[in-house]
A and B are shown apart, each in its own frame.
Chain A
């Protein structure tokens, strides 16, 4: 049977539930800008009714607990997209620093190559001119410097990326340790049927940070998240994390090993580490090899043309360029071998005034190198590749950024805190609290009336 005491209890219960809901609202508002925070909702449930004969009377509300609102699928998609974006950004950062070297300027390889042939052509009009000969030497030195600079730019980038590999691996190991440390707490909460709440948010945020560094696959288990790299190398299992290691490879570059010492470098393809390795081991060596080949074959062709003629002293032309026998390192080490303009082999008959061999030197410009193209076309192809790589990576970075924005919007629509919504909730729960308090006041008044009834009777 309903009584004032029951009503009072129901009101007090409502006050507690509303206080709890207000606390959740407060927490949501406080974390509105916290990265990785998933909004929480208070689980309010109707209390079991009391049956009095045929009459069933409600007993108010109870606060069952708090629940974070998540979308695991979108969360996973964000992690994957983050890996792709970080990989693209790592490559883009390097390519943007490489690109200026291959951009047409007053000192790029193409311009200096043209300048050298122009100076040779000018020399043909007066092969005994000291100033025209000096112009050829200067142009040759400028071209060699342009090759040296381009090579240095590429190798410096490569060295920087090599350092980044070690830093990324260290960062990955720190994060996996932190994730592993959170797993037991989540397992405990799961075991008691509670929501992971803040701990789960922290872990999700750490996994996102890890995704920015490397390719990672997440498997949800009762013992928390199990993490592996893209090729299945375990990173976190339960409370245990498995550190990656680095070692210097035969090429002088840092190689990544799993906890068993197995090489996994080539299997890391996304995230900052994947993008860094891709650029360090694929993109830059590819460009460097083409640059070395061009420098070596161009230098050899000029030297061969020199050997066909005679210098101003009537002696057979000596090498114009110093180039190593091996192709590797040619761009870095190419230099002009002769120091005196009279050593340029312009003559085809041994007389100083002959310019007959300039044609052979000039022919290097239009003849195909052993690689199959003329020097100019070879360089143009290199420019195309650098431009194409940078352009494609820029597009990829832009696409993943847009995609990530959309996915974050999607996640935010589920898990994000809306200040407007929370403000409304605040009003709603405040009103509910005030109403419940009014019930207490009312019941109190009724109690007073009831007690007063007794007092009147006694009088």
Chain B
């Protein structure tokens, strides 16, 4: 075969060797063997999925940390409440002694009042602006001092509300009862009036959601009054019905030592793994007012110490003790969740390592290979350039004597 011009072949060889050198250099400098989808389409596609998994794992880890902090805050609050309840039991036991003078009983009652205040403070614990025992209604304090009567801001003597006054469809009026520990929610539909609300409240009393005597009436100044006829039973009422306006506690109707739960029973869940969700909160109603009503039992102990007999003080102390056991029981699932979260944190750490290894395998360059390839590419490129420099200038003319 005649070889006439080696320039194109030499140029091609130089391009090929320089291209190989560029690829080898890129792999060494980036540590990656796949720098763009065309380098390995399948690995690039897998990388997209793997990186999404990594992002999820990273977020799960952050969620674990955040939830753990929130739950540890809740756990500490419950722990403090348990301590307070133990104090109350100790105080109750001493108050139930036949040798305690009435003056001492009053003093003990005052101490138990302090315990109640402390428990309420624990029940209203917040973490980063979230009331941890408020259910999903976590933006407002869940335990609020109760009153016997709440009145609407709308309605006056001049323009009184009436039982026939129509309520706004879709509005909600909420009554949280400190004695029963329950919450009654009335959601108005089209056609509902104040009378409908009053009937519904009577129904709630009948089924025990609200304390006996709870009612809704139009008072002398033309406002809607929701309350009880018992000075010992308190409640907290709220409404978002524009017809009624907000509900406010009537002056001097506060019930000493009575607190109503205005949160809800919803439980939020947060995902901390691809198939693992954890409940992040324990509703205050479940912890302090449902079952043995801890708040009410403390109130009962205070009342017994103030006015009761030794027997009644003993019974009230027993009620607090029952409440303590209940709260302690409720703490167990919370502690279990905290333990689960710690385990999950370790697992996520391992998953991160696994995914990183997978990603390195997909797109990472073996540095030993990459360095060897670079060295080889440098050598090849040098050889090609040296050969080009040697071969291209060679012609017969170099050897012919000038004429």
Contacts and interface: CB of A to CB of B under 8 A. Distances in A.
Interface in B123-176: 128-130, 134-139
B56 interface: yes
Nearest to B37: A387
Given A104-B51, A349-B264, A390-B38, A405 B45 contact: no
Contacts of B280: 125
B356 to A, nearest CB: 15
Interface in B253-277: 264, 266, 268-271, 277
Which has the most chain B C-beta neighbours within 10 Å: A102, A126, A419?
A126
A113 B268 contact: no
B4 interface: yes
A201 interface: no
Interface stretch (A17-25, A114-122, A211-219, A331-339): A114-122
Interface residues of A, number: 65
Contacts of B67: 125
A387 B38 contact: yes
A402 B268 CA distance: 64
Given A384-B41, A408-B8, A416-B2, A353 B49 contact: no
A383 B45 contact: yes
B130 A390 contact: no
B56 A405 contact: no
Contacts of B97: none
Given A104-B44, A125-B67, A416 B139 contact: no
Given A383-B44, A413-B4, A103 B37 contact: yes
Interface in A108-147: 110-111, 113-115, 117-118, 121-122, 124-129
Contact of B130 (A39, A126, A387): A126
Contact of B63 (A115, A122, A419): A122
Given A104-B51, A405-B9, A384 B137 contact: no
A412 interface: yes
B395 A383 contact: no
A414 interface: yes
A379 B46 CA distance: 11
User: Secondary structure at chain A's binding surface: helix, strand, loop or mixed?
Assistant: helix
Contacts of B190: none
B46 to A, nearest CB: 7
Contacts of B268: 124, 127, 353-356
Given A387-B44, A423-B397, A128 B266 contact: no
Interface string A202-236: 00000000000000000000000000000000000
A298 B3 CA distance: 61
B51 A110 contact: yes
A359 B269 contact: yes
B45 to A, nearest CB: 4
B396 interface: yes
A6 interface: no
A416 B8 contact: no
B381 to A, nearest CB: 18
Given A353-B139, A420-B395, 15 more contacts: A103-B36, A118-B56, A118-B58, A124-B268, A124-B270, A126-B128, A127-B268, A351-B136, A352-B136, A356-B136, A356-B269, A359-B277, A383-B41, A391-B41, A418-B5
